[in-house]
Amino acid sequence: MGPSAQAQTDVAAEEMVPAGRFWGRKMLLSLLLLIICPSSFLSIKVSPLIERISDHKDFKKLLRTRNNVLVLYSKSASVAEQQLKLLSNIAQDVKGRATLSWIDCGDGESRKLCKKVKVDPSKKPNGLELLHYKDGTFHTEYNRPNTYKSLVAFLRDPEGAPLWEENPEAKDVVHIDNEKELRKLLKKEDRPLLMMFYAPWCGVCKRLMPSYQQAATNLKGSYVLAGMNIHPPEFDRLKEEYNVKGYPTVLYFEKGKYMFNFEKYGASANDIADWLKNPQPPIPEAPEVAWAEQDNAVYHLTDADFDQFVTEHPSVLVMFYAPWCGHCKNMKPDYEKAAEKLHAESGVGVLAAVDATVHRAVSERFHVTGFPTVKYFENGEEKYTVPHLRTEQKIVEWMHNPEAPPPPEPSWDEKPSSVLHLVGEEFREALKKKKHSLVMFYAPWCPHCKSSVPDFTTAADTFKDDRKIAYGAVDCTKEKNQGVCKQEGVEGFPTFNYYNYGKFSEKYNGERTESGFVGFIKTLRERDQVKLGKKKDEL
């Protein structure tokens, strides 16, 4: 059957409508649909890692279960589009360390949520507000630059210092992010250039930065002053290429060619400017006279004469050292004075020294692994290792009455405690079994580590009966642990990381006290109990 007469009439009538009026109707209909259902006309691509929240209960659950949360509040979906694109890229980079969420305050149920939490992004010029929540509560409004680099740095360490390029006074420093940018700058730049390789935690770098950035402003147009955080492990090749042994390392380039280093780390802005007007290579320090060549009362022994000397002298104290060793240098003056005093007496004994970096055979024979190592020989035979002898007075007194030294204090990992001392590959496997793990990355020589050890150990004992909680420790000076420490982002000692079933969650930046370490884990455990109680109620 064909169309009805009425249908034919309707078609004919529509064909008679002028084109302008027809399209006007379509546009009006589209606008009405957009008002009724705005989100259906938006094609915003949002990462699945960004959690969209509209319900107050879901929001509270998010804060209760996540410790590092950045929330984007928007007055509408459309104004959030560009910010969501940026956050979608960031979400992958901070996965496992931070959570990103979006609340559209202009959309139905979400509007009620925004009122409950008293956030109104419509009062902001751009209709957006970024708020950060830490450990279940509001922490701070994000007010750093709205850039990928700054946001990632903030989410990795919400309480850390801003990036150098975020300082408005450093606007004239050329900030380099990667090796490709560095190569490009060196290739295209004809002006004289200073490049500061630095680490964010470096104290000397921080003291130089104000002068450096002021010089960059004063010399703008004539010279280029650049900076690059070269500490991350991905820049190891660059560090090797430019012989970066410490921070800061400041290099001078002319037409992209490296000339020499700038080594005035306490320089003012004027000092830097004056140096650039007449750049000169650093004056080499006078070569240090080897200890063995200096005139003193210490006998300097070699692989060839060591055995004969200790046989001919019935009482000999020997210091095995390395020329570069700081502790050895500190001990040398006392050792020399003690040698002079003993030399003036008869039948007491003599002091000798061995450069273990040169005379390796004798050093290896006596198992010398650290510097300084002090050993006592009696009638040609090794009798004691005496690590407690460091000062002139103690050395002289001991040589008058040589006796067995007190037993060495056991290292932390040798003392019984509830702390899990993790080594190499067992690190991740051991933590996978624990719901909450607080791990201390340390170095035995680090004074801040030493002061934290008693409180950390006591905190571990508090939870010793809870099989789901662990306090772990990793000695980063051990060869097997160096890869682990690098992988876990350890840049200084001590570093405390929190893990959930072996997965990194956040850095611990609380107090390094027993109450701080215990309170942190207790808060996490209490949240677990609240969550479990709610699940039971739902069932």
- Region of 118 (left: φ > 0; alpha: ψ -120 to 50; beta: rest) is left
Cα–Cα distance for residue pair 191/184, rounded to 1 Å: 14
> Which residue, among 82, 137, 74, 139, has the nearest Cα to 101 in the 3D structure?
74
Peptide bond into 447 cis (omega under 30): no
Helix boundaries (H) for 168-202: 179-188
| Residue 345: Cβ-neighbour burial (10 angstroms; 0-12, 13-18, 19+) | exposed
Q: Reduce the DSSP state of residue 37 to 3 states and report it.
A: coil
Q: Reduce the DSSP state of residue 113 to 3 states and report it.
A: helix
Verify whether residue 37 is a known catalytic residue.
no
CB contact at 8 A, 420 and 432:
no
Taking CA atoms, 413 is separated from 317, 409, 477, 508, in Å, by 31, 11, 13, 22
Q: Which of 37, 105, 114, 325 is catalytic?
A: 325
What tokens were used for 91?
A: 């979400």
> Which residue, among 219, 184, 216, 212, has the nearest Cα to 198 in the 3D structure?
212
CA atoms 498, 502, 504, 505: torsion sign: negative
Angle (deg, nearest 10), helices 56-65 and 514-538:
140
Verify whether residue 446 is a known catalytic residue.
no
Verify whether residue 205 is a known catalytic residue.
yes
CA atoms 413, 415, 416, 417: torsion sign: negative
Verify whether residue 485 is a known catalytic residue.
no
Q: Which of 328, 449, 476, 485 is catalytic?
A: 328
CB contact at 8 A, 330 and 337:
no
Q: Which of 37, 105, 114, 205 is catalytic?
A: 205
Cα–Cα distance for residue pair 29/32, rounded to 1 Å: 5
Q: Which of 37, 105, 114, 202 is catalytic?
A: 202
Catalytic annotation, residues: 202, 205, 325, 328
